[in-house]
Structure 1
Amino acid sequence: MSNNTSYTDAFDELQVIVTEIESGEISVDELSDKVKRATELIRICKAKLTTTEENVNKILKDLEGTEE
């Protein structure tokens, strides 16, 4: 999965991983891989949220400029 992954896809996969970890039925080796993957997914989600926030702020700033 890359940064082209949608926020929804990354979030959904993250939820699956959390459920698997909470079930306690994965091995230590799998746990390590799942935690690494979860970290990657969290980074993707955070980047998407940051980009969205920046875009919204730009749009709002542009709107403020047109109202004057």
Structure 2
Amino acid sequence: MTNDTTYRQAIEELETILRALETDTVDVDDLTSRVQRSAELIRLCKQKLRNAESAIERVFENLEAEDEEDSDPEEPASPTIPAPAPVRPRPNNHQPGQLPF
């Protein structure tokens, strides 16, 4: 088994071996070698899955680290502009015919 074998190739070969075992087309003398090859392919697939999982975890860890750097508390925060105070209506104390000021 070479490291050049892709995950897809390993799965396809495993499926081929399984179909052969299911249809009884494997000679008894060939059975042992097919089972051994299946074990190698399964190990390869597990290794590739573990490697992919580790790589994905590193990507997410790097993203989280970047997010933490972006929100560094030592950096000055951008100033926030306070919301304007609500405008209250003036009491209506004027007489009819008078201007309200």
| Category of TM-score, reference length = shorter chain | over 0.9
Matches within 5 A, 1:16-31: 16-31=16-31
Could you say which structure has the greater relative contact order, defined with CA pairs below 8 angstroms and 6 or more residues apart? 1
Fraction of identical pairs, as percent: 38
**Matched residues in 2 for 1:14 and 1:60: separation?**
32
Query: Partner amino acid for 2:5?
Result: T
Query: Partner amino acid for 2:55?
Result: N
Gaps of 5+ in 2: 69-101
Whether 1:57 aligns to 2:57 is yes
Q: Give 1 or 2 for the bigger CA radius of gyration.
A: 2
Equivalence for 2:32: 32
**Matched residues in 1 for 2:64 and 2:55: separation?**
14
* Backbone CA RMSD of aligned residues: 0.9
Equivalence for 1:14: 14
Q: Render the CA deviation track for 1:23-61: whole Å, top value 9, x for unaligned.
A: 112121111111000001001101100000000000000
Q: Which structure is higher in helix share?
A: 1
Aligned length: 68
> Does the residue aligned with 1:26 lie in a helix, a strand or coil?
coil
Q: What TM-score comes out, normalization by structure 2 length?
A: 0.64
Equivalence for 2:41: 41
Q: What TM-score comes out, normalization by structure 1 length?
A: 0.93
